Amino acid sequence: MNRKAIALFSGGLDSTFAVLMMQKQNIDVLAITFLTDFGCEIGDSSSCSKDPRPAAARFGFDLKLCHLGQKFVEIVKKPRHGHGRNMNPCIDCRILMLREAGAFMEMIGADFVITGEVLGQRPMSQQRHTLNLIERESGLAGFVVRPLSARLLPATVPEARGIIDRESLLAMSGRTRKPQMALARELGLTDYPSPAGGCLLTDPIYSRRLRDLLDATPNPDPTDLGLLRLGRHFRPSGTCKIIVGRNETENNALEKMQRPGDVLLQVEDAGSPLVLLTGLDAGKHVDLGASLCARYSDLKHRAEVLVSILGGAGYELVRSMPADEDIIERYRIQ
């Protein structure tokens, strides 16, 4: 009878190694890539995940994409085990992912879960005591195999039962990537993704924006969260935010994310950011938005700039003085 494992799979090198090591022991693997609204997206270079589909196709294992949705939002807002240096709830994140993997394990009758974690690689979630804590609270104590560091950790249930050969597993530890590079060469892996950009929740600027959002909007929707990654952010009131695009890509994204009641601004006949005013009283802050739009346009040195209003009601054009540094510092989300 073929044994089965569920893999937490980011698409990166470590999780790929974990899957290949199980395949080498004739274990059928179902890989799960978890997605969130905080940067774990397979098509984004700033993501903590890479596109997992090429590896799944190349090495012949099944893959499932699973969005954690509101479950993940809630642990970001109030993690039981606290945040890291910024808004990263690393321990609670791993517990949630393992719980979800455990549910899939039970659903398909798999024998255990594997991850690409390396002992000591991450300071918050991959220390020995936190690995033990995460296993216990996920309900999977003894059933999480970490093939890259297994020989440095206590034997798991599948190892003790002879389902997998412990001696064929590895003893990697620490933050160096040299053992992984050597293993890649040994396995003939020459085309593999570079390490992922990391979770956005560890970024201090993104985290400040997120704290501001949660203070103003305790129950943000996916659009609110998506906007955190775009532009320069200003807060004129508790119910309005102004976002200034920094390039054409961001301008296009802001335009697509406009919602009913939002206002879009752009300087007439010049290189200009797109400025989005969003929130319940967005229309009350058009003058400030227009001054910021003028300030970041190619006409910022003029005394007065003509700004077009692309959404909202009551205006079509407004003349505005470019915002000075005092205004920028007063309203910018620090």
91, 94, 96, 102, 135 from 138: Cα distances, Å: 11, 8, 7, 8, 5
CB 247 within 8 A of CB 271: no
Q: How confident is the model at residue 40 (pLDDT cuts 50, 70, 90)?
A: low
The residue type found at 41 is E
Q: For the packed helices 13-24 and 178-186, what is the interaxial angle rounded to 10 degrees? A: 50
| Mean pLDDT within 177-203 | 76
Mean pLDDT, the chain, rounded, equals 91
126, 128, 196, 267 from 307: Cα distances, Å: 51, 57, 40, 4
DSSP 8-state class, residue 141: T
Residue carrying structure tokens 């798999």: 110
| Mean pLDDT within 158-165 | 96
For 113-158, write each residue's pLDDT tens digit: 999 999 988 877 888 999 999 999 999 999 999 999 999 999 999 9
25, 31, 53, 112, 264 from 61: Cα distances, Å: 14, 7, 10, 16, 46
Tokens describing residue 133 = 């804590």
For 64-116, write each residue's pLDDT tens digit: 999 999 999 999 999 999 999 999 999 999 999 999 999 999 999 999 999 99
For 233-281, write each residue's pLDDT tens digit: 999 999 999 999 999 999 999 999 999 999 999 998 899 999 999 999 9
CA–CA distance, 190 with 319 (Å, rounded to integer): 57
